[in-house]
A = this chain, B = another copy of it.
Amino acid sequence: MTTVADSVSTANNIRDIALACRDAGTAIAALPTSAKRAALDAMAAALDAQAEAILAANAHDVAGATAKGQTAALVDRLRLDRARLDAMIAGLRYVATLPDPVGQITRRDVRPNGLIVERERIPLGLVAMIYEARPNVTADAAALCFYAGNAVLLRGGSEAIQSNRAIAGALRDALRGAGLPEAAITLVEDLRHETMMTLLQLNDIVDLAIPRGGPGLIRFVAEHARVPVIKHYQGVCHLYVDASADIDLALRLLIDGKTTRPAVCNALETLLVHAAIAPVFLPRAAAELTQRGVQLRGCERSRALVPAMQKASEDDYAAEYLDLILAVRIVDNPDEAIAHIRRYGSDHTEVIATRDETIAARFVHALRSAVVMVNASSRFSDGGELGLGAEIGISTTRLHAYGPMGAEALTIERFVVRGEGQVRHASSMLS
């Protein structure tokens, strides 16, 4: 059996590795849906069969990270157990049930001259996924890229290298078992800085780089890449409670958005409250949040209503806390809320609570964020929740895909034109 390490040693630089990966993608791009589904099921079975080795490899990574004094949060993101592995396996099987975007005809038009013009979805080509400590990204990203007909280069963090090697090895075993080129799923094992820099320059080979991780990683990739990049940057998500809001509804959105999973990008970071409703809403909100362990940081007017609240600084309004902290501000009208979001937001997800449809429409229309919600929790800003099936991340780049990205966002529409010999100039007719 060829192991991942063996196959990597035959290609001794990242350009060769990327070329081999891209070339393997040609075979994946041409696969019928049934073959891709069978391969995904085989990948799931391989992860299950190699569970013991994967968990052992992960235990090494966890021990290493702990010994290095990494934070508890990082070690938690890194750790796999049987339940998390089962979730990865279920994820692969789930992707296999999604509609296949490749080959979809999205539009069809017959031109006056009889030309039939179709738009057809084809794979992007080679996707480079650049991520940090979560080893589940290795399987999740590989599955979505593969199903959308792409080759994928997986460049995870050094803390997770043993886990990623074991997971990618199992996925490649499944590819090989299905008679497919295993290089279509390639783990980059050379984690040197200069290798990453070279990878990010390969704009003749890599069609898209998707960085997922902390702001440092995203900024590094955005600064150094010559390949196209879709950033999955931070979510400074806002809830604006209008004067017209149903107070109980707004409280539920606030509690759900702030407290149920504060460490994720679709959690709320800032609460904006209309001055007319603040005297009723804010004290109740503060009570509900405080009993759930949330610390509030507010403007002077908020603090007049909730004296226990700390004072918010400018930095608080720009912060993605990812923690049980909430910035609060009272505004005098919806336009002030909109202006605040435009100034401090990250274009990720914003929510309005209102019973006034005109104000809701104005809020939606005035904001350019990837996801705007009316009377629904920011926590629904997620590919699965919004009907994409699975997601490879949430784009904050206003190009190609904006907001949650599913398999379809890993394809591109091209033109297929059918004619009967039409030419543009009559002079081309034969005499």
A109 CB within 8 Å of chain B: yes
A400 CB within 8 Å of chain B: yes
Interchain CB contact (< 8 A) of A124 among B386, B399, B412: B399
A73 CB within 8 Å of chain B: no
Is A259 touching B366 in the complex (CB atoms < 8 A)?
A: no
Is A228 touching B226 in the complex (CB atoms < 8 A)?
A: no
Q: Is the interface of A mostly helix, strand, loop or mixed?
A: mixed
| Known contacts A207-B399, A252-B428; A377 and B423 CB within 8 A of each other | yes
Is A414 touching B402 in the complex (CB atoms < 8 A)?
A: yes
Minimum C-beta distance from A98 to chain B (A): 14
Is A248 touching B430 in the complex (CB atoms < 8 A)?
A: yes
Residue of B nearest to A422 (CB): B376
Is B429 touching A415 in the complex (CB atoms < 8 A)?
A: no
How many copies of this protein are present in the complex? 2
Is B417 touching A376 in the complex (CB atoms < 8 A)?
A: yes
CB neighbours (8 Å) of A226 from chain B are: 222-223, 225
Minimum C-beta distance from A150 to chain B (A): 10
Interface hits, A28-46 → B, CB 8 Å: 29-30
Q: Which of A129-137, A156-164, A367-375 contacts B (4 or more CB under 8 A)?
A: A367-375
- CA of A401 to CA of B369 in the docked complex: distance in angstroms? 21
Interface hits, A88-127 → B, CB 8 Å: 109, 111, 115, 117, 122-125
| Known contacts A368-B122, A430-B251; A373 and B419 CB within 8 A of each other | yes
Interface hits, A197-211 → B, CB 8 Å: 203, 207-208
A424 CB within 8 Å of chain B: yes
CB neighbours (8 Å) of A365 from chain B are: 30
Is B423 touching A371 in the complex (CB atoms < 8 A)?
A: no
- CA of A404 to CA of B117 in the docked complex: distance in angstroms? 12
Interchain CB contact (< 8 A) of A253 among B122, B379, B423: B423
| Known contacts A377-B428, A428-B252; A397 and B228 CB within 8 A of each other | yes
CB neighbours (8 Å) of A225 from chain B are: 226
Residue of B nearest to A424 (CB): B379
Is B124 touching A375 in the complex (CB atoms < 8 A)?
A: no
CB neighbours (8 Å) of A412 from chain B are: 398-400, 402
A332 CB within 8 Å of chain B: no
Is A416 touching B372 in the complex (CB atoms < 8 A)?
A: yes
Is B208 touching A374 in the complex (CB atoms < 8 A)?
A: no
Minimum C-beta distance from A126 to chain B (A): 10
- CA of A371 to CA of B273 in the docked complex: distance in angstroms? 51
Sampled A-B contacts (24; CB under 8 Å): A29-B368, A115-B376, A117-B387, A122-B368, A252-B421, A253-B421, A253-B423, A255-B427, A256-B423, A256-B424, A260-B427, A371-B414, A371-B417, A372-B416, A374-B416, A375-B418, A375-B421, A377-B423, A377-B424, A380-B424, A381-B415, A399-B399, A400-B412, A402-B413
**Nearest 8 A/B pairs, CB to CB:** A376-B419, A256-B428, A256-B423, A249-B421, A400-B400, A379-B424, A260-B425, A255-B428
A residues with a Cβ closer than 8 A to B are 29-30, 109, 111, 115, 117, 122-125, 203, 207-208, 222-223, 225-226, 228-229, 246, 248-249, 251-253, 255-256, 259-260, 288, 360, 364-366, 368-377, 379-381, 385-387, 397-400, 402-404, 412-425, 427-430
Besides A111-B387, A381-B415, A400-B400, 18 more A-B contacts (Cβ < 8 Å) are: A111-B386, A228-B399, A246-B421, A253-B421, A253-B423, A253-B428, A260-B424, A368-B414, A372-B414, A372-B415, A372-B416, A374-B419, A375-B418, A375-B419, A375-B421, A377-B424, A379-B424, A399-B399
